[in-house]
Structure 1
């Protein structure tokens, strides 16, 4: 049963599994070892399974994945039961006898499947689940009622909340408002500047309980995700009620930390949606996102921006802060202007977006770009005639350190973050830095553990 205190993702999962019940997916020891050793590991994989076992499974659906992590090569009986949740995203007939399923968003939950039986409060439900687990079939579909009971049983452990919340995001496709869409685009841009694709896996993901963050859609390199009530993010002076998520990405010896947070009167401080700090080149860039609306008047096919009610305050905030900053000491900077406005089409391909430096935008605002008989700024994509910066060029210049302010403003940025409170639009902070020795050691230990598990799985 659920009540008013039940998290939204849990309520959604209960409703979902009553329509599309949970499927138990059993991995043989050799399959588990091979998947661990694959390029994407457990987080995403495909399997070919005989048709008959999948006839009643409707994709997408929630699945429980069972496997055994062998502890030693010689003793095959001495193993640790592993339990994962994931999403069977699709199934497709690939041969006369087999159907291929694609499994995504897997994350480990506890305890093991056999121990989970003892946590089910309803005796008949526990007996039915135990019977289903004993079925040797590679896939077993559960009943709707048992599926809902299992969701609540797994959710009774706080340690499973992050994994279940991430899985629910893979099944739920709520309509995105402008704030959520732009936060997702800002995260994607930060990853691209870092040299990673938008679906690059995170080595660590923290989600704050009760807070919405587009990071919930991030893929994981590890098999766990954390949801917490922390009043601050570890190693960051960040008020807990402000932070909504934190993810860490690796590229060689570099680390990108992406923090999402709610903002309070952000226009009065910086007036931006994305703050990117690159400690390798000591440059900092702040970006304000604006939406382009389609303009089909008079048979035209154009995209325009007309000044919104926030622009004046945002520009004033940028201007006040810009005057206080000393130009970067890095002589190779092509420009030390670190405020940019990014214009994104409300509908359609985000790759068609473009950026304008603050000074260029102000020059356009003083010119004929104003709407007729109006004091508002009006920008036409066609009228700009290519006088803008494409995001690929922006990524390259930012990544190489040719644009942006010196990172001496980091202290001011931390002051901003500490002052954020919930209830406003979304902010993304992306910090690129050198990977610490402790993080490097942890990565190495994880790789060695995966290697040991894989070697054991093959024997």
Structure 2
């Protein structure tokens, strides 16, 4: 599981001036360091030491490209200069537990903290510096304890909702790192995953109302409890709503409905969890719940097929049925990891072939789908490209029926994550390429 971490960077006197000039001019700095491993999908901090004895800055960081034999670029962004630099010896004095020795070595010589050392140093900095406590709030012991207190059913639903939001952001080609700011409520449970995001993202204003007006059937969602968030960049704006009729703990799952306003096309993804065993993940067949959902989707598909389609170049689709199933392993809800769950996407037609394939019948007459026996399937990176460019999804004229897809999801006891991809004038950070694995190089 990808976890947040921190790198301690000691800068030489010669590099300090370059650091200060770079930060002043563009808010970023890059330094060759000893090679290290860290998942790109997890947050990375940098504790910067300019005088050899104090942490003087705290910054966001990313693991960059190879910088020479055994070296790696550490890319630093938006460093915050501490008004009261924290003495390294003071941190070591207050540190407790078995991680103290390792943490002290890393603080003194530089490098990447172990996960436990990172947690211990964050907790110590929060004790001795109010300024650091504020900056490190989303890595604090209090936050970790609040997340750990969430019940298993709630964590499962939050994990599915996070996956739906991440998928929508990936389809829109936006940066997923805004989700790194997720925090649980101080009391109780969140009503949805969106409720834990920073206030700059979670919104309810005229912009959201305007975006809702572009989607057919949105009056049904607006009558329900829902949370909304806006993500912007790369000339696009993505408005995401999470709506449900039931409390979080009573939901049976989440469906993503992604509406591409440019192509007037929608795609719906239903997530199904695979079970675990020693030989790998599997999905047991038949699955009564999925069969009921497929009947609903097939009924809607018949309605879509009755709509007359205009033959224009913008209206062409490789596959015009908007309904897809994603099988993915049951997950531990980890709000710090912004990588999409590995999984397998299937169209309804493809799934029908799989469900009827007798080669999947086991020695005890049971049937199951695994990564090994299913053969061909669509993975995250390819599916993102298909959806982003509307190669799959409803035709323009069919999108008027999106309201029926929303109502079907809500009536089945599932939450609906509705994502509306529209044009925007704002630029933003480059998105993370889903083809990158956890240790893929930053392009710097």
Gaps of 5+ in 2: 1-19, 29-44, 46-57, 61-77, 97-102, 120-126, 213-218, 247-252, 333-338, 429-444
Matched, 1:191 2:191: no
1: distance between equivalents of 2:399 and 2:363?
42
Query: Deviation digits for residues 60-82 of structure 1, max 9, x if unmatched?
Result: xxxxxxxxxxxxxxxxxxxxxxx
2: distance between equivalents of 1:56 and 1:234?
53
CA contact (8 A) 2:300 2:405 kept: no
Other structure's SS at 2:176 match: coil
Other structure's SS at 1:183 match: helix
Partner of 1:172: 146
Matched, 1:316 2:306: no
Partner of 1:94: 107
Other structure's SS at 1:336 match: coil
Deviation of the 1:382 alpha carbon: 1.3
Other structure's SS at 1:389 match: coil
**CA gap 1:52/1:302 in 2 versus in 1, 3 angstroms:** closer
CA contact (8 A) 2:195 2:202 kept: no
Deviation of the 1:171 alpha carbon: 5.9
Partner of 2:346: 356
Other structure's SS at 1:200 match: helix
**CA gap 1:302/1:256 in 2 versus in 1, 3 angstroms:** closer
- Equivalences for residues 46-445 of structure 1 within 5 A: 47=82, 49-51=86-88, 94-95=107-108, 139-140=129-130, 172-174=146-148, 175=150, 176-177=152-153, 178-200=156-178, 212-218=191-197, 222=200, 234-235=209-210, 236=212, 237=219, 239=221, 242-263=224-245, 273-296=255-278, 300-301=279-280, 303-325=282-304, 326=307, 329=311, 330-347=314-331, 351-368=341-358, 371=361, 378-385=368-375, 387-414=376-403, 417=406, 424-435=413-424
Partner of 2:433: none
Alignment root-mean-square deviation, CA: 5.3
CA contact (8 A) 1:53 1:140 kept: no
Deviation of the 1:343 alpha carbon: 0.4
Deviation of the 1:397 alpha carbon: 0.9
User: Normalising to structure 2: TM-score of the pair?
Assistant: 0.54
Other structure's SS at 1:337 match: coil
2: distance between equivalents of 1:406 and 1:92?
60
2: distance between equivalents of 1:318 and 1:192?
24
2: distance between equivalents of 1:429 and 1:331?
22
1: distance between equivalents of 2:104 and 2:400?
51
CA contact (8 A) 2:360 2:373 kept: no
Deviation of the 1:432 alpha carbon: 0.2
Other structure's SS at 2:209 match: coil
Structure exhibiting the larger radius of gyration computed from Cα positions: 1
Partner of 1:25: none
**CA gap 1:140/1:334 in 2 versus in 1, 3 angstroms:** closer
Other structure's SS at 1:406 match: coil
Deviation of the 1:256 alpha carbon: 0.6
Other structure's SS at 1:247 match: strand
2: distance between equivalents of 1:328 and 1:404?
15
Matched residues, number: 309
CA contact (8 A) 2:281 2:329 kept: no
**CA gap 1:289/1:96 in 2 versus in 1, 3 angstroms:** closer
**CA gap 1:93/1:384 in 2 versus in 1, 3 angstroms:** closer
2: distance between equivalents of 1:375 and 1:395?
36
Deviation of the 1:398 alpha carbon: 0.8
**CA gap 1:328/1:352 in 2 versus in 1, 3 angstroms:** farther
1: distance between equivalents of 2:283 and 2:298?
24
2: distance between equivalents of 1:91 and 1:171?
25
Gaps of 5+ in 1: 1-30, 60-89, 104-136, 142-146, 148-162, 265-270, 444-459
Partner of 1:268: none
Deviation of the 1:214 alpha carbon: 1.2
Deviation of the 1:434 alpha carbon: 1.5
Deviation of the 1:421 alpha carbon: 6.6
2: distance between equivalents of 1:328 and 1:284?
17
Deviation of the 1:250 alpha carbon: 0.9
Other structure's SS at 1:94 match: helix
CA contact (8 A) 2:273 2:329 kept: yes
**CA gap 1:283/1:384 in 2 versus in 1, 3 angstroms:** same
Give the number of the structure with larger relative contact order, counting CA–CA contacts within 8 Å between residues 6 or more apart.
2
**CA gap 1:201/1:294 in 2 versus in 1, 3 angstroms:** closer
Deviation of the 1:284 alpha carbon: 1.1
